[in-house]
Amino acid sequence: MSTEEKSLHFIEQIIEESLTNGFPKDKLRFRFPPEPNGYLHIGHAKSICLNFGLGLKYNAPVNLRFDDTNPAKEEQEYVDAIKEDLRWLGFKWNEELYSSDYFQQLYDWAVAMIKNSKAYVDSQSSEDIAIQKGSPTQPGVDGPYRNRSVEENLKLFDAMKNGDYPEGSHVLRAKIDMKSTNMLMRDPLMYRILHRHHHRTGNDWNIYPMYDYAHGESDYVEQISHSICTLEFVMHRELYNWFLDQIYDHDKVRPHQYEFARLNLNYTVMSKRKLLQLVQENIVNGWDDPRMPTISGLRRRGYTAASIRKFCDIIGVAKRENVIDYSLLEFCLREDLNKTAPRVMAVLDPVKLIITNYPEDTEEWLEAENNQEDFSAGFRKVPFSKELYIEREDFLEEAPSKFFRLSIGREVRLKNAYIIKGESVVKDAAGNISEIHVTYDVDSKSGSGSDASQRKVAGTLHWVCVQHALEVEVRLYDRLFSDEAPDSHKEKSFLDFVNPDSLEIIKGFVEPSLANVQAGEKFQFQRLGYFNVDFDSSSEKIVFNKTVGLKDAWEEKGKKEENLLMNTQKEINKYVKEKDEDNVVSILNTIIGNIKSIDNYSLLTQTIVKNIKNDNNALLFSNLIILHSDKITVNDIDEDSLTKLYSMSLKSQLAAVRLLTIENLQNDVDNFALFKTQLTELKMNEKNEKVYKLLNDLKI
């Protein structure tokens, strides 16, 4: 196998094998088949890049086909949004097609199947059909209408089409095998009655084909050679092929279905149903909210099409499911924006800085580089004067040795300008700093070539000239969910993990070069991150969205929390060994404070379970987390683990463990009853006064 062949992903290998075995290259045809029942998300981008990428590689047509078989959930709005997303990603489709284009053909094939005794009208309720189909371990049984005559089936199906029956009264089912090990083959539904207005066919139809029936047959009509879908459709392949068997003409191309692993991204949800719920419950401001994983949301936030295509290329095409870290998507974005985004200065939490020895009523226009990664980007002029804004966090009155920003008596450089030295501050009535007074070195101007200009100082600060500053609205977006797998916890709703700090709206100041920005333009606010002009902007009010920070703040936070928990366990050891009562209280307060500061739900629950072992300190740690964390409750720990924790802890030789366990059981009504006998026995033998008193207060 050549080096080039080894680099092919498995779908490309399948296509190469097809061509080697004689399949005509000019018959290759692909499609991207979205259902217009929601906006596309980043998971769809992987499928889009795969299908259209194959089209480009093999110079083969790729159709955009809308599988619009459910008018109850589909809207023209979604069709338009999907087309806009595809264009923005940079792909062109060969034909724009719809499953609804084939409604008559699908109906005719269904009639032929009835005539061939391969389909029948079932008049059972959906509940009865579900019971009759059995379970994965129990075969289904024939329903009471399975052996209706062809004539009766044809008559009923025609009446269904004409709108003579209410929704739910009849369905058309394929007649396959009620004992099949694949439950999808147990006489699946082909048509249901829906008296709904269709966005394209209006009220022409009263029956609509099911996805499993329409999808493969539509592929056949379009002569799709390789029908590519995600792994959840593996079990559907047998049904896909069965439906094709009923209509296949050997003179035509027969589509074949192949499955690849869908994109799973942490810290978000990929279900259209759940994304719709976020929209409907006003948790976000529409499908294009910049916190959403939708392509339109990512676009509005400031993502580039190139970064999404690069992301899809890096994660590749595989057969095995895995979870991709959100930080990889952000990395691809930073790489792209670093090359293309102009650098500008903005201050988002301003405090006034006054250069006391700078001449009054003097103003300079300094030269600033637009992008050091792109020499062709050139330079711009920024105004400089006596009064500036800097970030409040860039100044400390009394700073530690490793604080490389401005403080009293220390020097820093103002970007593209001069070296300044902190002299004094002015405070308001509440004690907050309202002004910072500094002096500047007149000979230290950046780029002047003087000895003073080449002096090395601790840090460089960005700034904005007060006189020329533009006030703007800045929307600071963060991840929508605080947990890495928000929809994976059985006892919790994914909505429980919505990050309350996912959006903060503030006022900031930017340099005057941004006065005429247009929606969609992207910039790097120096030292702050990448920002994008929102389409809510107007000539009266400019609005910026924070796209992504310069560093992965979530990775840093995650590492900090992991390290904090590790260090807290060391504090547990100190706590247990400490004899001085005052020190015991101090150490315990530190432990509790650390536990309360941890936001990562999964990290906390995993830490609890990991510490359920024959180790007194470990048991103490688990009980402390349950008692003091406000991010989890006992209901978040699986029943077996929790029972094991309580049982082992009540037997612990360490009184502090027993004491905490009793407190936790007090708050856990369900388990308290289960452990009443063990608590009674413990009371009879308990020698520690505090534990005995607590047990006695429980009146066991």
Which residues have a catalytic role annotated?
A: 35, 262, 272
Three-state secondary structure string covering 234-294: HHHHHHHHHHHHCCCCCCCCCCEEEEECCCEECCCCCCHHHHHHHHHCCCCCCCCCCCCCE
Helix, strand or coil for residue 511?
coil
Which stretch of DSSP H or E encloses residue 506?
strand 503-510
Question: Half-sphere exposure (CA, 13 Å, Cβ side) for 327?
Answer: 10
Burial 416-450 (b: 16+ CB within 10 A, else e): bbbbbbbeebeeeeeeeeeebbbbbbeebbbeeee
Helix, strand or coil for residue 408?
strand
Cα distances from 310 to residues 90, 107, 224, 341, 669, in angstroms, run 12, 42, 27, 17, 52
What is the spatial distance between Cα 170 and Cα 200, in angstroms, rounded to a whole number? 24
What is the spatial distance between Cα 297 and Cα 283, in angstroms, rounded to a whole number? 14
Question: Contact at 8 Å (CB) between 486 and 303?
Answer: no
The residue type found at 319 is K
Question: Contact at 8 Å (CB) between 165 and 43?
Answer: no
Cα distances from 35 to residues 70, 233, 235, in angstroms, run 9, 15, 20
Burial 364-390 (b: 16+ CB within 10 A, else e): eebebbbbeeeeebeebebbbbbebbb
Question: Contact at 8 Å (CB) between 628 and 595?
Answer: yes
Q: Which two tokens stand for residue 512?
A: 């005057």
Report residue 479: phi and psi, to 5°. Answer: -60, 140
Question: Contact at 8 Å (CB) between 479 and 293?
Answer: no
Tell me the CA end-to-end span of the chain in Å, nearest whole number.
75
Pairing of strands 264-265, 323-324: parallel
Helix, strand or coil for residue 116?
coil
Enumerate residues 6+ apart whose C-beta is below 8 A from 14.
Answer: 226, 258
Helix, strand or coil for residue 350?
strand
What is the spatial distance between Cα 68 and Cα 78, in angstroms, rounded to a whole number? 11
Q: Which two tokens stand for residue 110?
A: 């269904």
Enumerate residues 6+ apart whose C-beta is below 8 A from 606.
Answer: none
Cα distances from 606 to residues 219, 344, 369, 638, in angstroms, run 46, 43, 48, 11
Instruction: Name the CA dihedral angle for 62, 63, 64, 68, rounded to a multiple of 10 degrees.
Output: -140
CB atoms closer than 10 angstroms to residue 516: 9
Question: Contact at 8 Å (CB) between 419 and 490?
Answer: no
Question: Contact at 8 Å (CB) between 68 and 36?
Answer: yes
Three-state secondary structure string covering 127-142: HHHHHHCCECCECCCC
Q: Which two tokens stand for residue 148?
A: 């209706």
The residue type found at 510 is V
CB atoms closer than 10 angstroms to residue 164: 13
Provide the sign of the torsion angle of the four alpha carbons 246, 247, 251, 252, taken in this order.
negative
